[in-house]
Structure 1
């Protein structure tokens, strides 16, 4: 089967309904297109979704992480413990605050930070923990917060991929310390670009608002003060309206993603790829929102590289992605003393992972098509 004979299947495609598109048009016609009433409503509905906790929106999930760190008091000389298996924004924002990222290797089973290794990395300079919920799978929250309490550390949950996920029946965002969501176009809930912080108090929410817009506080018609160094991170009403249109569908989105993930497990089980050693994610259908479905290639048993494997998928009309190369091997981090061999599980994962198509408009037939292509490629190129 060639790419020209079938429709191309991208690895992600957002689902935005006609009511949302019409709603965006209404916002554009209203004349109020930057932060305004749509954003206020979006924050209120997100707060309800997160159990009534204060929520403030931002223009990206990167901004939410940086502001979350600042609200937690992280600054120059501090250390923040995180994982090298994430988008580089996770650690870049730590450096932006003047602090130093301290990496802990991943558990190869969950692909999340190995909590059993985390305490070994805590020093007197550790100020906060920043776990990442890769592909929407949360870490063991009980274990995480037990460590945080024992060492009196703040937690900024990088839940960028975990909107709609849960822990033991409780939504991510309803429990814990500071929680950061992303609403980028590839996320389970999108506002095109955007993010949100779930906070612990109205005081933290007010501080988030200050950081979001130049540190300004307004009183009355003409009163204005600036008492913290803020930036320009506000979410537009156009983006907020997209998010509002997405929110009522999140449970359906999550259910469909879980159904498709189950189809991947069924379609790959006992196939040529798995027999060669292809790695599958943890089959968690209680907590994960299945933001992504990531395989790891058995490159030692294949005659092609990862790039060639992805090119072969493309020839079948199938898109794919890489999420993520190990952060500590980027030049910026090598210059800070990180090197190969420090975090072998994250390095192996980063060098062999491939993200397969997974989005709500897909069908189980689409999944089977991907599985057949993977098995065919592995049969052709297996050693």
Structure 2
């Protein structure tokens, strides 16, 4: 079936009030870090139960800075998942530490905590768990494990703003928690991120790291005692974030309803009939940042995912690929990683696709997406 309009995988929605507010900032003469950044941080802190929050120009530097605040560097090991955006592992290398991958759970596609414990050595200093598509881990088990082995946790919650665990928001508890506001996230600041910290001492250190290590005092006092970078968020980005964040509860509720409708349209026999694996049907904890399928293996030698994505596009539906296994990328192969080390992650990384899921989607958009999926996959039995 041909549709007059292409349904993208994702599409940010910026309302007119936010566009007008950005115009006001541009006219104000203060467009870099200023009062809008401070207001955004205050609102985020309130959302996370009063914990200190600092904003940055990406959700990547937030993880790097968390590792630096934790004192992690050369000679240390940090355990993480192979199924994530490569930034999750890159920041470990950036601080001079060694990334240690373990395989993922075949159902949740998140890091397998049993394998995390088996991978801990005397050099292990931290864990970076990832909440794929916004689905949290078993947070009780994660933090019990961290406490048992005296490890820091840097939660890569890039996709999990609005997610929760047993009724408590992700970010309102735990250790370091990093969020992204990149363009395809549930709320965006165009680019940006924030880091939830444990205390004001860590927050002050985060401020140094985000702006060249600078500490100011009085009218003209300036000192640098930390090697910082240039990671500050602008007031322009913060204004977009504020406009989006005002709707976080409605956004999360809407995406959960879209996910429920995906399951309804796909049908209870979808996995058996089409051979593709559905995500976990969690409508309490996940914010449904993405709705992902793991495709069936193809037997004809053709690349299953590339063929699927091409044919979905021919049906007028955009598809995302999140994510190929990090350990099989050239940078990580050069560090000794190879095929066969993490078989579940390798299968997921080879076959996972993200169906359209964004704030402005309608139930008809879900129907279009599902119609295309079924037409392209075709029943396998």
Partner secondary structure for residue 157 of structure 1 = strand
Q: CA deviation at 1:117?
A: 1.3
234-243 or 273-282: which moved more?
273-282
Q: Following TM superposition, where does structure 1 have runs of at least 4 consecutive aligned residues deviating by more than 6 angstroms?
A: none
Name the structure 2 match of 1:370.
369
1:45 paired with 2:40, answer no
Q: CA deviation at 1:121?
A: 0.5
Name the structure 2 match of 1:94.
92
Q: d(CA) in 1 for partners of 2:271 and 2:149? A: 44
Q: CA RMSD in A?
A: 1.3
Name the structure 1 match of 2:343.
344
Name the structure 2 match of 1:325.
324
Q: CA deviation at 1:276?
A: 2.9
2:164 to 155, 163, 166: 166
Partner secondary structure for residue 242 of structure 2 = helix
Deviation string 1:303-326 (CA, Å, 9 cap, x unpaired) is 853111111111111001100000
Partner secondary structure for residue 99 of structure 2 = strand
Q: CA deviation at 1:48?
A: 0.3
Q: d(CA) in 1 for partners of 2:116 and 2:79? A: 8
Name the structure 2 match of 1:112.
110
Deviation string 1:203-231 (CA, Å, 9 cap, x unpaired) is 00000000000000000110000001000
Name the structure 2 match of 1:284.
282
1:246 paired with 2:244, answer yes
- Kept after mapping to 2: 8 A contact 1:273/1:378: no
How many pairs does the alignment contain?
A: 380
Change (3 A) 1:12 1:21: same
- Kept after mapping to 1: 8 A contact 2:25/2:31: yes
Name the structure 1 match of 2:259.
261
Partner secondary structure for residue 38 of structure 1 = helix
Q: CA deviation at 1:177?
A: 0.4
1:213 to 206, 211, 216: 211
Deviation string 1:189-211 (CA, Å, 9 cap, x unpaired) is 11000000000010000000000
Q: CA deviation at 1:299?
A: 2.4
Q: d(CA) in 2 for partners of 1:37 and 1:237? A: 7
- Kept after mapping to 2: 8 A contact 1:82/1:101: yes
Partner secondary structure for residue 246 of structure 2 = helix
Deviation string 1:92-137 (CA, Å, 9 cap, x unpaired) is 0000000001011000111100011111010000011110001000
Name the structure 2 match of 1:128.
126
Deviation string 1:290-313 (CA, Å, 9 cap, x unpaired) is 000010111236785311111111
Gaps of 5+ in 1: none
Gaps of 5+ in 2: none
Partner secondary structure for residue 98 of structure 1 = coil
Q: CA deviation at 1:274?
A: 4.6
